[in-house]
Amino acid sequence: MGHAQIVPGSSNDGSVAEKAASGPDSCFGWSEAGQWNPVAAAWARLRPSGPGCGHLNPVAAAWARLRPPERCPAYHPIVLEAAATPESLIHARGLTKRFGAFTAVDGVDFDVAPGEAFGFLGPNGAGKTSTMRMIGTVSPVTAGTLTVFGLNPKRDGPKIRARLGVVPQADTLDPELSVLENLLVYGRYFDLSWGEARRRALELLDFVQLTERSNDKVEPLSGGMKRRLVIARALINEPSLLLLDEPTTGLDPQARHLLWDRLYRLKQRGVTLCLTTHYMDEAEQLCDRLVVMDQARIVAEGSPRQLIERYVSREVLELRFRRDDGEADDDAHIAGRLDGLAERVEQLPDRVLVYTPDGEAVAATAYERGLRPTSVLVRRSTLEDVFLRLTGRSLVE
C-alpha cells in the first residue's frame, strides 16, 4: 500500500485485514463417551483374524458395508423415495472441461444413484476437482452432457445449488464472522428464515461437535474443526446430495475418523455422497462405488472390492532383503526364485511385492526355494495397490 493519502473518508477501515490471533486449540473431543460409533464398531467386529492378517485391515470396513444387512445389524439403510426411482442424481456422458489448450477432464461418463456414496479417486491433477466444480455448477461444461437432479447446470444453476451441499477443497469460511454466524448467514443465502436458519445451525453444530465454539471466531479453530464447520455449513439447506472435495486432506488421524463417522451417519440418513480423495483408506471407508481418474480420464470403475479383485490379487506378500552382503541376492536372482509362484511380482528398490491369493503359502515356498528375506509381511491388497497399478508409481504433479 502506498503512503497515506490526504483524502477524507479514505482512512483505513478497522475491519479490513482483520486477523484474529491464533488462540489455544480446544481438546479434540471424540464422540460423546459411550456413544456407539458405527464405523468403529464395524471395524472391531469384522477385523479379520486369519493368518497374516493380524494388523488392522482397512478393507474390513469396506466389507462391512458390502455384507447383507441381516449379518450386519449396524447397517440399517433408510430407503428414501428418491432411492426408489432409477434415475441418476448425477448423469455425465462425454463430460469435458478445457482451460484454453489444457484439457482437465476428457470425456468422462458416470452416474451417481440416489443414496450411494460415490468417489473420485486419483492423483493430483487428474481432473477430480474440475469434475466436482462442474457438478456444483460453478464451472461451465466445455463439452458433453451433464445433468444434476435431472436439471441442466447451465440453465438451472440456482435450482441445483438450492438442493446441493458443497464442501470445497479450501475451507472458504467467513473469517469476519463467528462459527454460528457462518452458518446463519449461509442459511440466509438459501432463503431460510432467521429462525429456521438458527434452529438448523444449532442442530448442525451439535452434529459436528462444535456447540462449545459457536461464538468463537473461525480463525483459531483447528483444521479438523474448520472442516467440520464447512460440512455443517454444507448441510444447512438439508441437501439431498453432498459434494465433498478432498474432505480430510491435511487432517490428523483423530480428525479424519471423526469426519468419516459423521459422513457415514449422513449416508445412513439417505444423503447421497459424492467425494474426491487421493487417500485409499478414505475411499475404502466411505465409497460404495468409485471411479479411478488419471490424466483427465476415468481408468476404472467399481466398488472397492470389485476393483481389488479385478486389478490385484487378494493378498500381497512383501519381502525385504539385505542388500549389503556379498550374497547374490540381486534382483534377477530373487525374480528367478519367485518365478511361477504368483500372478504378478513387482520389484521396488527396497522390497519385492508378490501379488497372490495366498501370501503365507508363497512365503513358505519361497523359503523352500532358498530365499532368505530379512522381513516377510503378508497383507490384504488395498485400493492403494489398485491405484498404483492403474496410475503408475511415478510422481504426478
* Contact residues for other proteins, defined by CB under 8 A: 1-21, 99, 136, 138-140, 157-159, 161-162, 164, 166, 168, 170, 172-177, 181, 184-186, 188-191, 194, 233-234, 237
Helices 223-234, 194-207: crossing angle, 10 deg rounding: 140
- Least distance CB 124 / other proteins (angstroms): 18
- Least distance CB 3 / other proteins (angstroms): 4
From CA 294, how far away is CA 300, in angstroms rounded? 9
CB 228 within 8 A of CB 215: no
**CA distances in angstroms from 54 to 26, 47, 305, 349, 379, listed in the order given:** 35, 8, 20, 26, 9
- Least distance CB 6 / other proteins (angstroms): 6
Least Cα distance to 75 among 65, 62, 63 occurs for: 65
Sequence-ordered list of residues with C-beta below 8 angstroms from that of 92, at least 6 positions apart, any chain: 108, 109, 110, 111, 131, 144, 145, 146
- Least distance CB 211 / other proteins (angstroms): 19
- Least distance CB 111 / other proteins (angstroms): 22
Strand 272-277 to 117-121 pairing: parallel
CA angle 92, 95, 101 (to 5 degrees): 170
Nearer to other proteins by C-beta: 161 or 389?
A: 161
From CA 170, how far away is CA 227, in angstroms rounded? 9
Tally DSSP H helices, then E strands, for the chain: 14, 13
CB 157 within 8 A of CB 165: no
From CA 349, how far away is CA 99, in angstroms rounded? 38
C-alpha cell at 125: 491433477
- Least distance CB 18 / other proteins (angstroms): 6
Nearer to other proteins by C-beta: 227 or 389?
A: 227
In 10 A of CB 81, how many CB atoms?
Answer: 8
From CA 292, how far away is CA 62, in angstroms rounded? 17
From CA 353, how far away is CA 337, in angstroms rounded? 14
Three-state DSSP class for residue 254 = helix
Strand 102-112 to 90-99 pairing: antiparallel
- Least distance CB 380 / other proteins (angstroms): 38
- Least distance CB 138 / other proteins (angstroms): 5
- Least distance CB 177 / other proteins (angstroms): 6
- Least distance CB 11 / other proteins (angstroms): 4
